[in-house]
């Protein structure tokens, strides 16, 4: 009895101390995040490697100096450096959220059985990749991937809806919920890509011919082009990444955007194919599921820790933003973000 009465105040004191140091730790962790973001911004601000994408004419006109970094933590706090307000087109990063929408709506099996989830190891708009996997289609499950154009156009074609409008509302709705704001299509990019996307139209037609798209490939290509033209800034993209980092629950709005149990499927495809044919190299250095877009954005996810995004238009040969790759790798490594590394304590 004596020991209990004595230990109670000691227990209370210990509790108070623990919560004090927990909030102290949170503040310290916040300072560390900002420090890492600032350091990467300073280090890469003047880096001039890479070149804007120009096969979509509107992308060539985007300011190549645009550089913004944002990190979102579990408490919904957003840490930023540089220009996190100017918008670029989301491009291929939208593929993640449309795939996620299909997984949410129709289950993880639907994507695997209709499109496949293996990396093609080829460029994002490769037609050879379509032909290569075609040889194994008859023998079993399809082998396309929803994060490169053929599979992505097919995934857009899978979103259910009685009209193009209805499908679009679902696609943009999922993006909005993940970003915590209403996003708009950049009309100049949409027009520019619609005028020049004959290659994607050819891919769409092939996907119908090979059974990946069931009907109306033209609608799938058009909606895919529209989703690629959604305007986002680095902050939006980081919030979108954080929704995936925290089990499908947007930490800014606390809205559950997708079922937590389905998020690992999304992250797995990002890990294997998010940076096209450089996905292996990226994973080797960071361990992070990520996705790039030819607009210059990259998102990356450290599950349970943070979502991060960088916007910087100049791309390397694989089509991935040079500064975004470097900044994200540095920040994640200094915050212990690699999910494949053993916990530091
Ligand atoms: N809309 C672009 C395309 O289809 C997206 C490509 C990308 O970001 N890799 O070519």
Residue range 4-27, pLDDT digits in tens: 444 444 444 444 444 444 455 566
Pocket flag, ligand 1, residue 124 (CB < 6 Å): yes
- pLDDT tens readout for residues 249-273: 999 999 999 999 999 999 999 999 9
Backbone torsions φ then ψ of 147, nearest 5 degrees: -105, 5
Give the distance from CA 35 to its chain's centroid.
Answer: 23
With the most atoms of ligand 1 within 8 angstroms of its CB, the residue from 55, 193, 275 to mutate is 193
* pLDDT the model gives residue 52: 98
pLDDT given for residue 30 in this prediction: 86
The per-residue pLDDT of the chain, averaged, comes to 91
CA of 246 to the centre of ligand 1 (A): 27
pLDDT at 147 over 60: yes
Confirm or reject: Cβ of 320 under 6 Å from ligand 1: no
149 lines ligand 1 (CB under 6 A): yes
- Give the pLDDT confidence score for residue 28 in this predicted structure: 65
In this model, does residue 130 exceed pLDDT 90? no
The answer to whether the CB of 190 is under 6 A from ligand 1 is: no
Question: Is the pLDDT score of 137 beyond 80?
Answer: no
Contacts of 246 (CB under 8 A, 6+ apart): 74, 304, 307
242 pocket-lining for ligand 1 (C-beta < 6 Å): no
Does 114 contact ligand 1 (Cβ within 6 A)? Answer: no
pTM of the model: 0.91
Residue 126's pLDDT band, with cuts at 50, 70 and 90, is confident
137-146, 288-297, 304-313: lowest mean pLDDT where? Answer: 137-146
Q: Which of 53, 55, 89, 92 to mutate to test the pocket of ligand 1 (most atoms within 8 A of CB)?
A: 92
pLDDT at residue 17 in the model: 44
Residue 81 has pLDDT above 70, yes or no: yes
């Amino acid at each position: 009895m004596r020991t209990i009465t004595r230990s109670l105040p000691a227990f209370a004191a210990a509790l108070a101390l623990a919560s004090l140091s927990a909030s102290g730790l949170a503040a310290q962790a916040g300072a560390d995040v900002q420090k890492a973001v600032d350091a990467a911004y300073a280090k890469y601000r003047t880096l001039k490697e890479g070149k804007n994408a120009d096969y979509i004419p509107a992308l060539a006109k985007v300011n190549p100096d645009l550089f913004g970094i944002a990190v979102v933590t579990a408490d919904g706090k957003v840490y930023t450096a540089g220009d996190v307000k100017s918008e670029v087109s989301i491009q291929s990063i939208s593929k993640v959220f449309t795939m996620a929408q299909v997984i949410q709506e129709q289950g993880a099996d639907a994507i695997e059985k209709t499109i496949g989830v293996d990396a093609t190891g080829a460029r994002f708009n490769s037609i050879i990749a379509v032909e290569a996997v075609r040889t194994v289609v008859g023998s079993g499950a399809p082998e396309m991937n929803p994060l490169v154009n053929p599979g992505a156009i097919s995934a857009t074609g899978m979103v259910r809806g009685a009209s193009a409008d209805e499908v679009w509302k679902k696609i943009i709705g999922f993006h909005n919920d993940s970003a915590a704001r209403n996003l708009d299509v950049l009309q100049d990019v949409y027009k520019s890509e619609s005028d020049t996307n004959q290659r994607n139209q050819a891919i769409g037609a092939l996907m119908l011919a090979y059974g990946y798209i069931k009907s109306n490939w033209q609608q799938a290509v058009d909606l895919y082009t529209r989703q690629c033209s959604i305007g986002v800034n680095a902050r939006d993209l980081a919030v979108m990444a954080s929704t995936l980092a925290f089990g499908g629950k947007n930490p800014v709005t606390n809205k559950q955007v997708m079922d937590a149990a389905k998020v690992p499927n999304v992250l797995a495809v990002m890990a294997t194919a998010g940076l096209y044919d450089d996905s292996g190299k990226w994973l080797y250095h960071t361990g992070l599921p990520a996705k790039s877009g030819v607009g210059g954005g990259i998102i990356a996810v450290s599950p349970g820790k943070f979502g991060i995004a960088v916007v910087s238009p100049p791309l390397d040969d694989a089509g991935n933003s040079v500064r975004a790759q470097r900044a994200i790798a540095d920040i994640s490594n200094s915050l212990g973000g690699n999910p494949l590394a053993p916990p530091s304590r």
